[in-house]
Amino acid sequence: MNKSYKYDNCNFCGGRVSERRVQKACWWGEKLLAIVDNVPAGVCEQCGEKYYRAVILRQVENLIRNRKKLNKISVPLAEFVTR
């Protein structure tokens, strides 16, 4: 994406929304399928709400469907236990 998209103001707080690159977690129900890095999104400068254009979400979906090209990472897992 070379050209920045003009976003409307935030639907929640009315703040200014500007385009940034973010990480997008992609879920299927409660199962995390993938985390896609460097996704263009509109981000509210006040509350942080994110807005994704349909064309971008379709591209993210295509990336996930082609699982052969996905990198795999390991992350530490901690469990919170109440006392």
**41-72: per-residue pLDDT in tens?**
999 999 999 999 999 999 999 998 887 777 88
φ, ψ of residue 3 to 5 degrees: the values are -100, 130
The two structure tokens encoding residue 62? 């295509």
Q: Which amino acid is it at 41?
A: A
DSSP category for residue 67 = G
Average pLDDT in the 24-46 region? 93
Which residues, listed in sequence order, are joined to residue 22 by a DSSP beta bridge?
Answer: 39
Question: What amino acid occupies position 6?
Answer: K
Average pLDDT over residues 18-28: 95
Q: Tell me if 73 sits within 8 A of 52, measured CB to CB.
A: no
Tell me the pTM: 0.79
Could you give the CA distance from residue 14 to residue 46 in angstroms, rounded to a whole number? 8
Span 5-32, mean pLDDT? Answer: 95
Q: Which domains does the chain have, with CATH numbers?
A: 1-83 (3.10.20.860)
